[in-house]
Amino acid sequence: MKIKLPEDVKNIIDTLEEHGFEAYAVGGCVRDSILGKDPADWDITTSAKPEQVKALFKSTIDTGIQHGTVTVLLHHVGYEVTTYRIDGEYEDGRHPKEVLFTPNLLEDLKRRDFTINAMAYNDSHGLVDEFDGIGDLERGIIRCVGDPKQRFTEDALRMMRAVRFAAQLGFEIEEATREAARELAPTLAKVSAERIQVELVKLLLSDHPHLMRDLYELGLTAVFLPEWDLCMVTEQHTIHHAYTVGEHTIRVLGNVPADRVLRLSALLHDIAKPECKTTDAEGNDHFDGHPVRGKEMAREILRRLKFDNDTMKRVQTFVRYHDERPELDERAIRWALSEIGADAFPELFTLKRADTLGQSEYMRREKLEAIDRFEAIYQEIMERKDPLTMKDLAVNGQDLMALGVERGPVLGETLKRLLAHVLDNPEENTRERLLEITRGELL
Ligand code: ATP
Ligand code: MG
């Protein structure tokens, strides 16, 4: 087996070998190379201690000296070079309590999570594959290195990682590994929200976001997203739907492109449905108010999972307005754009179409046509640059104060009325006309 190492990686490995150390490309980059994918980054494992690595390269960063990691910079790219190590127990399910350096590559490979991630390669020794990572890559299997229960007990995040890699690679989780995860899922509670978030996002952005179902089945979402578990068991007895809220959501996830905000929005768009569900006398379910309540829940959830404010705000907008269906005329759509914010488009249309395709086939064509019409009118409004916000008004606060409008709430109200006026009559957004209206109001 020959892997084509980038020049800089070769250079690092050669330099270390020339000075009497061992060094290999290891982990994800070896896995991805064998799969014929371009590795996102190249990690190197070596018998050299961090200080010894630092002495050999001009430009290095102390990334995690206590864990043996030094970043070597070559041509503005960072390569993590980590000393062979044995991880002690993971104290808080987060950091190894202690890290022991070892002269033995196999010890280092043993501490790694999955067989497909525990292969090392260099040009002088070829592939080192002690745990049949190649076989599992061929079979399409995620399998722990060693006893899965022990490995998940050392670091509970590995359960999330198993599902995440299965989603990224389209692999199955091997039965004993799956069984161990089912048993130990509650211990994920020890893991920090930040680490869980990373794995969740990678799963959502993968080609197989439907593995959200596996997170539920294994009992992992019960720990960090119990709202999702409710979705998975909430039936929708309505002509518009054919699946539970969760199964519907899984289809919507698959129907939006792999964009972080869109996939998160798809995941959360109906998150409030279980809570908002009512059943009428005929036995039909209704979910009144779920976008409004969903917006609040999205905020709580994303905050809990330590997402940044910008992501939170954008997802909240999509959740709030995913079901918005204004009258299909220019005036109503200008008002909608003004309220929602034009920058949520055109992604909102993407989400709406994906949502529709995840529903029953009842009126599907009509629903899609309404979205097309909504979008066509939106485009006309944008091309004409119709005024949609106070900033678009042909007058500003200064102009109005010059006419004698009082600074403060009165000024704000006046601007609001002018905006309402031009949303109804965009052709009247001229300085002259708006001043005239304001003068009339002052009389
Ligand atoms: P990605 O393409 O997402 O970067 P990766 O395999 O490189 O995938 P990383 O999280 O970057 O994953 O970790 C690099 C390597 O370190 C893994 O391939 C694995 O060998 C090891 N590793 C990472 N996290 C763990 C963990 N929690 N437990 C055991 N080994 C781990
Ligand atoms: Mg990596």
**Spatial separation of the C-alpha atoms in residues 354 and 370, rounded to whole Å:** 14
Alpha-carbon dihedral 261, 266, 272, 276, rounded to 10 degrees: 140
| Count of C-beta atoms within a 10 Å radius of residue 317 | 20
Note the ligand closest to the C-alpha atom of 26.
Answer: 1
Ligand 1 touching residue 157 (CB < 6 A)? yes
User: Residue 3 in contact with residue 121, Cβ under 8 Å?
Assistant: yes
What is residue 98's predicted lDDT score, i.e. its pLDDT? 75
30 Cβ neighbours under 8 A, 6+ residues apart = 3, 119, 120, 121, 127
CB 218 within 8 A of CB 185: yes
Global pTM value: 0.95
CA–CA distance, 135 with 129 (Å, rounded to integer)? 10
Residue 188 tokens read as 């994920």
- CA neighbor of 22 nearest in space, from 110, 108, 130: 108
CA atoms within 13 A on the CB side of 149: 4
Give me ligand 2 centre to Cα 47, in Å: 20
How distant, in Å, are the alpha carbons of 87, 268, 315, 430, 439 from that of 342? 51, 21, 15, 21, 30
40 lines ligand 1 (CB under 6 A): yes
| 40 CA distance to ligand 2 middle (Å) | 7
Question: What is the predicted pLDDT for the residue at 86?
Answer: 93
Q: Is 154 in the pocket of ligand 1 (CB under 6 A)?
A: no
CA of 304 to the centre of ligand 1 (A): 24
Is the backbone of residue 191 left (phi > 0), alpha (psi -120 to 50) or beta?
beta
Nearest CA to ligand 1 atom 30: 112
Q: Please give the CATH number for the structural domain made up of 227-386.
A: 1.10.3210
C-alpha 41 to ligand 2 mean position (Å): 6
Closest residue by Cα to atom 16, ligand 1, is 27
Any atom of ligand 1 within 6 Å of the Cβ of 158? yes
- Report the nearest atom of ligand 1 relative to the CA of 29: 7
Nearest CA to ligand 1 atom 3: 28
- Distance from the alpha carbon of residue 67 to the mean position of ligand 1, in angstroms: 14
Ligand 2: distance of its center to the CA of 95 in Å? 17
pLDDT attached to residue 401: 96
For residue 241, report the distance from its CA to the centre of ligand 1, in Å. Answer: 40
Q: Quick one: 173 exposed, middle or buried, by C-beta within 10 A (0-12, 13-18, 19+)?
A: buried
Q: How far apart are CA 269 and CA 252, in angstroms?
A: 9
Q: What is the pLDDT along the chain (443 residues), one digit of tens a residue?
A: 899 999 999 999 999 999 999 999 999 999 999 999 999 999 999 999 999 999 999 999 999 998 999 999 999 999 999 999 998 666 555 566 678 999 999 999 999 999 999 999 999 999 999 999 999 999 999 999 999 999 999 999 999 999 999 999 999 999 999 999 999 999 999 999 999 999 999 999 999 999 999 999 999 999 999 999 999 999 999 999 999 999 999 999 999 999 999 999 999 999 999 999 999 999 999 999 999 999 999 999 999 999 999 999 999 999 999 999 999 999 999 999 999 999 999 999 999 999 999 999 999 999 999 999 999 999 999 999 999 999 999 999 999 999 999 999 999 999 999 999 999 999 999 999 999 999 998 87
What pLDDT sits at residue 200?
98
CATH class held by domain 7-136:
alpha beta
Class of domain 140-224: mainly alpha
From CA 164, how far away is CA 424, in angstroms rounded? 49
Measuring from atom 1 of ligand 1, which residue has the nearest CA? Answer: 28
**What is the distance between the alpha carbons of residues 91 and 8, in angstroms, rounded to a whole number?**
36
Interatomic CA distance for residues 235 and 270, integer angstroms: 12
Among 112, 115, 145, 152, the mutation site with the greatest number of ligand 1 atoms within 8 A of its Cβ is 112
CB atoms within 10 A of CB 56: 17
Q: Whose CA is closest to atom 11 on ligand 1? A: 28
